[in-house]
Structure formats: structure tokens, C-alpha cells
């Protein structure tokens, strides 16, 4: 009558469900502004250009321009950017060596 404890049932998940779920997340109220994932799995977010101003006798950062939804490719076409070799000491070639 020694019954062995049965193992909990295994859950079957698609291997790609977590990455797909993470790419679908869009955070609108993050401290640094809206954040979402691009098609390559990297975050896109706003970039803020600021200047320091004295307001009410105290220094503060004031946003003077916002670049919305900046990705790892900035303003470049991702397909063209990825065709380039990886940055190294040999690329781009030194013009002054």
C-alpha cells in the first residue's frame, strides 16, 4: 500500500510564448516615458534633450525636445544597418593610420 506521490501535471507551453508576450507589452507610464519592444526584441523609448534651469531658486532639468520611440537603429533602416559588419578595430577602417 505504499503509493508513490504523483508528480504534478506538466504544463505544455509553446517555447515562443514568453518572448512573444514580452514583445507585445507596451508600458505607457514608465518613469522615463513610454517603453515598448521592437521587432528585434530591444526596447524603444523616448529620448529627452534637457537643459538645467533655475526655477524658484532651485536647479531643475527642463525638457526642451523629445525624440519619440527611439530604437537601436535611430533613424537608419534596420535592414540596411544590419547588413553592415559589426563594429570592431578593423571596421570602419582608419583613415589616418
Note whether residue 35 is domain-resident: yes
Residue 29 sits in which domain range?
Answer: 17-72
> So what's the pLDDT on residue 46?
95
Note whether residue 22 is domain-resident: yes
Q: Structural domain tally of the chain?
A: 1
> So what's the pLDDT on residue 86?
83
Q: How far is CA 19 from the centre of its chain?
A: 13
Note whether residue 87 is domain-resident: no
Q: What is the C-alpha separation between 53 and 60, in angstroms, rounded?
A: 5
Note whether residue 62 is domain-resident: yes
> So what's the pLDDT on residue 28?
93
> So what's the pLDDT on residue 8?
66
Q: What is the pTM of this model?
A: 0.64
> So what's the pLDDT on residue 92?
77
Segment-wise mean pLDDT, segments of 10 residues, the chain, 97 residues: 63 70 90 91 93 96 95 92 85 80
Residues 6+ apart with CB under 8 A from 45: 30, 32, 33, 34, 35, 36, 69, 70
Note whether residue 86 is domain-resident: no
Amino acid at each position: 500500500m505504499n503509493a508513490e506521490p504523483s508528480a504534478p501535471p506538466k504544463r505544455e507551453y509553446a517555447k515562443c510564448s514568453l518572448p512573444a508576450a514580452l514583445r507585445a507589452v507596451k508600458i505607457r507610464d514608465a518613469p522615463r516615458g513610454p517603453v515598448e519592444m521592437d521587432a528585434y526584441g530591444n526596447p524603444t523609448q523616448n529620448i529627452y534633450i534637457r537643459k538645467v534651469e533655475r526655477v524658484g531658486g532651485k536647479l531643475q532639468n527642463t525638457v526642451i525636445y523629445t525624440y519619440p520611440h527611439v530604437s537601436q537603429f535611430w533613424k537608419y533602416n534596420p535592414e540596411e544597418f544590419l547588413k553592415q559588419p559589426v563594429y570592431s578595430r578593423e571596421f570602419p577602417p582608419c583613415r589616418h593610420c
